[in-house]
Every structure is written in C-alpha cells, then in structure tokens.
Amino acid sequence: MAVATQTKRDFPLDRIRNIGIIAHIDAGKTTTTERILFYTGRTYKIGDIDEGTTTTDWMEQEKERGITIVSAAITTFWIPKSGPFEGQETRINIIDTPGHVDFTAEVERSLRVLDGGVIVLDAASGVQSQTETVWRQANKYKVPLVAFANKMDVVGADFLATIQSARDRLGANALPYNLPIGSENDFKGVVDLLTKKAYIWEGDQTGAKFNEAEIPARMVDLVATWRDKLVEEISGTDDVLMEKYLNGEEISVEELKKSLRQAVIDNKIVPVMAGSSLRNKGVQPMLDAAVEFLPSPQDVSEVVGENPRSGEQEIRKADPKSPLSALAFKIQVDPHVGKLTYLRVYSGTIQSGSYLYNSSKGIKERVGRLMLMHANDREEIEEAYAGEIVAAVGLKETITGNTLCDENAPIVLESITFPDPVISLAIEPKTKSDQEKLGTALSRLSEEDPTFRVKVDQETGQTIIAGMGELQLEVLVDRMRREFKVEANVGQPQVAYKETITQTASGEGKYIRQTGGRGQYGHCFLRIEPLPRGQGREFASAIVGGAIPREFIPAIEKGVLEKEDTGILAGYPVTDIKVAVYDGSFHDVDSSEMAFKIAGSLGLSEAAKKAEMVLLEPIMKVEVTTPEEFLGDMIADLSSKRAQIQSTEMRGNARVVLALVPLAEMGGYATTIRSMSQGRATYYMEADHYEEVPKNITQKIVESSGFTGRVEH
C-alpha cells in the first residue's frame, strides 16, 4: 500500500536529518517515535503498543509481544519553533531500533548509516545494560547523540540522577539542556536552560499544545546554577567563547547554541532533555533540539573508502553531483514487492531503472524501482540523492554491508561487522512439502539477518540454525510458519561453544593413494600457534625454495579452514589460531588440489592433538533487577550457576545484581527467576565474551558430543 502524500524531492541537505532512536528495552523508544510521528503530522492518531497500533512495530510478532524486532525507517517533516531553521520545514528520516539484545544487528546496521541519534534513557532506572551496549555501538561509528530522559512521570523518576548515571556508567559528558518542572505525578513541563523559558503542558490530552510560562519561583536558583554549568562546558569547547567567558562578557544564546551544535557533532557534549512520551510531554523540545544540534548529511560531509583497483583511500563528498557511493545496510523480504535493499546514499544520485556496480562483489546490478519507506508503507520515487535513506527493488546479489557505486569511479566503503551467534538449535521440516520450502525460507531469513546463520551438520545431516538468543530464533521460526508457510520441528537450544589451542605445535599431513593409473599425493607440514582471545583465524605460507608449488597453497588453506569449521575436539568451530604451512613435498604427476586439501586437514588435526585443545564458552553479562527481600536468593542462585558477581547496586527502590554467567547455565532462567520472586524480579542478558570451559565440564561435553574428529575423504 503506497502512502498518498508525495515527499518533496528537492530538499536542501542542511535541512535533512538521518536519526535513530536507540535505548535499552522498555525505555520507551517506540512510544517516543509514535509521538514524533503524531506531532509532525505523519500520523493522525497516536499509536499504542498495548493496542498493537504503532506505526513502526508493524510485524505481527511485534504487535503480539509488544517489542520492536526489526528497525523501521520512516520519513517525516518538522517545523522547528527555535534555532536557525525556525519556521522552516526540515525532513527527518527516523529509524526506530529494537532494544532487545537478540536483535543487536538491527541497531548495529542502523547506527552505521545514521548521522545522529536520540538515546532514550529511563528516568526511573538510569543507564541500564543495553543502554551501555548501544552507547558503545554509537561510539564505534562516532554517531553524535542527544539524550531524552523519558518516563519523568513514573514513580522514582530522578532527572539529575539519570544524568549522573550517564556520566558514571557511559563516561559521557551528559549535561541537562532543560530541567523538568515537577516529577512523577507532578511532572508538567520543562525549563530551557539557554533561553530561560518554561514550557507547560496542561489540558490537551494529546500534548500537541503547550504554553510558554515564567520559570516557577522555587526553580529560579536551580536553573541559574545549571545554566552556568552548561555555559561553562559549552565555552570550554570553543576558544572564542572561552575568552569571553573568562573575561566575564555576556555570551548570546545564538553563540551558545552554535557552539553546542559543534560540540555535539564532535561528540564532546550530550545534551539531555526531560519528558514523558506516554504522557505526551517534552517531545517537541526534544525534536527541536534534534534538528538544531544533530548533524545534517552536509556536516558529515564526506565518507572515506578504498578504491578496489588501486587500493588507495578515496573520499566522497555528500554531493548529488559527485560519483555515486551507497551502502546496503538492510535486506527485507516484502510479500508485495519481493526483496527490498535499504541503501544509505552517501554521494551522487541513483535513478530508478539504472545499473549500479556492486564493488564488494565486482558485479553489476539493476535497480528496478526506488522507494521511500514509511515503516511498511512505501512511496515510489524516481531518484535518490546524497544524504537520503531509500529502499531499492531488483538487486538480486547485493547483501548487507555491500557498497554500490559508479563503475567508472569504484569505491568500497567500510562494511558492517556483526557479532558471532552464541546459541543454536536443530530444525527439521514436518512433511515432505515443507522440506522443499525450508531451504528457501532459511536462505531468505539469513539474507535479512546477518547474525542468523544456517549450516548442515556433516556428521548427522541435521540443519542447524544459530543466532544471538532464544527470542531471535523463536521469532524466526514463527516467521517461517507465517510468512513462508513452513511447519518445522525444533530441537532444544544448544550453546555455541568454540574450540581453540593453548600451545604452539607442529603436525604432518600426508595423503597418498595409488589405485591404478594416476594416484593422489599431497604432503605438508603445518605449525599452529594460539592467538589472543577474539582474534579469529589466520593462515600464512612460510614455504621457501618451492617445497610445495605455489598453486597448491590455497588448497591446503581450504583444507585447514574446512577442518577448523567442523572442529577437532568436540565438533565446534576452531578459533583464535594461526596456521602456517612451512614445508612439504609434491609429486610431479600425482599431486592435485584435492590431495593437498586433505593433507592440510590431516596436518591440522595432528598438530592440534599436541597443542592442548580447550573448549571456549560464551559468557553472558546478566543484570537481575529484584526487590530487596529476594536479593540473597538471587545471588545464591547465580553463584550456583558458576557466576562471577560483579556488583550490586540500588536503582530506584530495587536492587540490581550485575554478574557474568556462562550461557550454558542460563537455560530456563526466566521461569526460575519468576518462581523465586513471585514474578517480581526481571533480568536482562547479553553476550559479553568467550572464556575457557573448566576441564571437568569439557570432558562431559566431549563425551556427550560423540564427535569422532575424523576427516572425510
């Protein structure tokens, strides 16, 4: 279904904002987005999560669970009430991201292509674990942020404590940009510190109307104190203002705002605004601040990439007349139009029906149609310009992270990195007709979600799906049933262990077969050494003097990689290992790529047996929020799960336990925690790192795996 209104195509770059709404689960991202869409006139009724009527949570699974699963892109317009664009229409491309850690890929890819973000904080809980994670993701891509302290109407809401929590836990230079008037039930408005104007919401249920008022008498001193701090911090980022400040000269509001904008873009200051999205208060000043302080595509004026032909670094300007460069950051299968590829256009122009060069794969692709997305509604357009986020139909081979550009001016932009899955389960079709559809469904879903992996277990022939958590896999199996009409039986979730070595060792791989006529001959010596945790895998050739001809080295590497994938100790992938081939021999007639591939596999197996192999397991960062009376039981239960208790702290009137716990011990924890606390405790879990499994547990895992470690010929 297409949206009736036509979006203006000739929008000046400085009046475009590409922003994301990011936060911990349940901090109020989707509710905030719904208010933005209502106040900007994109929707005519405020969507409600509980009623399943939100614009951005359009999937059936999102409506049923009341959570965001996929990031939704939507284009809207806002006329700011203050700042340099006061009274002028600005275009805002918003991406509402999921808060649940299982869908971390959606946040990662959104932040990679956004110019700025609004981080939503829960004013009653302060900075929570997932807030830290999204903050780190935003920092990785240097995304400037403004913060919105939501839920000021909730019991225990404390605006200044939330800001302190952001300073302590995120290391952010968070400063109040406005101050709340009242809190909890008495929250009714905000005071803008720079303009010293108060805004009060009363009477209008939708919050669309608010009145300008005098600062309440009891707040005058508080406003003066925090305004001085804000002015001092802003001046500290600008030499000219610093001189004025030290000389005691008056600094105008315009000067302060201009310097604050630059400080936000440079990631030096995070202004924090107070509000309550659910009660429709404080959203408009936050929108004004997002337009005023977050960068336009022009401020993030250039993007750096590599020329695939010369290997040199190249720069592209955010200019529609520059050569094209665009990044594919999301794939979505749409039942009406097929495969949609979401693109961030960094430079140049894309025309509907034109051919693009996929420099990541070295192929040409044709754009059938171009769409502006409004969540799951679409508006067809003829052209997309630098600075825009659009969706293309017709790109068959392009996947997440690929660069699309002009073939005569090729460039490869930095791709998007995604974490490895930590949990897997076996899946099998219920009927013969499901068998054929299962492969299609799995390949489509793994195209959409880069953290969702599919493989076939060579030992058992089972199809294994892997992801970031049980919820993600549950949702994907549900989507298979609904969207692809595939009924499947699903096994119990399994932990994604990894194998590694702890010592340097060498091994010989020799594969010789003589079966009449031409034989097979492959022979190599490999040296393996452990790499630091998280480094992955490396392969190198240290062959001198032509002991093995150069054309057989890739075959050895292929054999090594395949063996690393299938595992040696218990059938789990081998990681954090460097393999070097340093010697060997060959036969003029009988040597072949296949023989050297098998020799590489055999050599790795032999070396690994001498290198003290160990299993690694995913360790989860767990945050348990519980009433005081259950604290002791929670800590005792976590300790019985091999947990390392990091800290306990007060948050509002609840106690929060932070711990590192092996994922293997967390099965069924949701039920455990509910029964231990009469349903009053909650927990949050995300992958943190991999750690060595204790020897006694490794033994049990190896025995139960029944893994032979044999090499298939």
Q: Residue 232 belongs to what H/E stretch?
A: helix 220-235
Amino acid in position 96: D
- β-sheet bridge partners, residue 504: none
The residues, any chain, with a CB within 8 Å of residue 206's CB and separated by 6 or more, are: 38, 46, 280
Q: What is the chain's alpha carbon radius of gyration, rounded to the nearest angstrom?
A: 28
Tokens of 143: 């995304």
Beta-sheet strands, E only, within 215-366: 270-274, 302-306, 313-317, 325-334, 338-347, 349-351, 355-358, 363-366
Q: What are phi and psi of 454, to 5 degrees?
A: -125, 135
Contacts of 546 (CB under 8 A, 6+ apart): none
Closest CA to 577 of 659, 481, 502, 685: 502
Of 480, 493, 492, 490, nearest to 434 (Cα)?
A: 480
Nearest of 567, 563, 537 to residue 705 by alpha carbon: 567
Angle between helices 104-113 and 129-140 (to 10 degrees): 30
Helix (H, G, I), strand (E, B) or coil at 403: strand
Tokens of 203: 């009477």
Torsion, Cα 679 24 621 680, to 10 degrees, reads -10
Helix (H) or strand (E) holding 530: strand 520-530
Q: Is beta strand 520-530 parallel, antiparallel or unpaired with respect to 463-467?
A: unpaired
Strand, helix or coil at 23? strand
CA 632 to CA 456: how far, in whole Å?
44
Q: Which residues contact 136 (CB under 8 A, 6 or more apart)?
A: none
d(CA 360, CA 375): 28
Which residues participate in the annotated binding site?
A: 23-30, 96-100, 150-153
For the residues of 620-669, what is the DSSP string, one character each?
Answer: EEEEEEE-GGGHHHHHHHHHTTT-EEEEEEEETTEEEEEEEEEGGG-TTH
Q: Annotated binding site for GTP, which residues?
A: 23-30, 96-100, 150-153
> b/e string for 39-57 if b means 16 or more Cβ within 10 A?
bbebbeebbebeeeebbbb
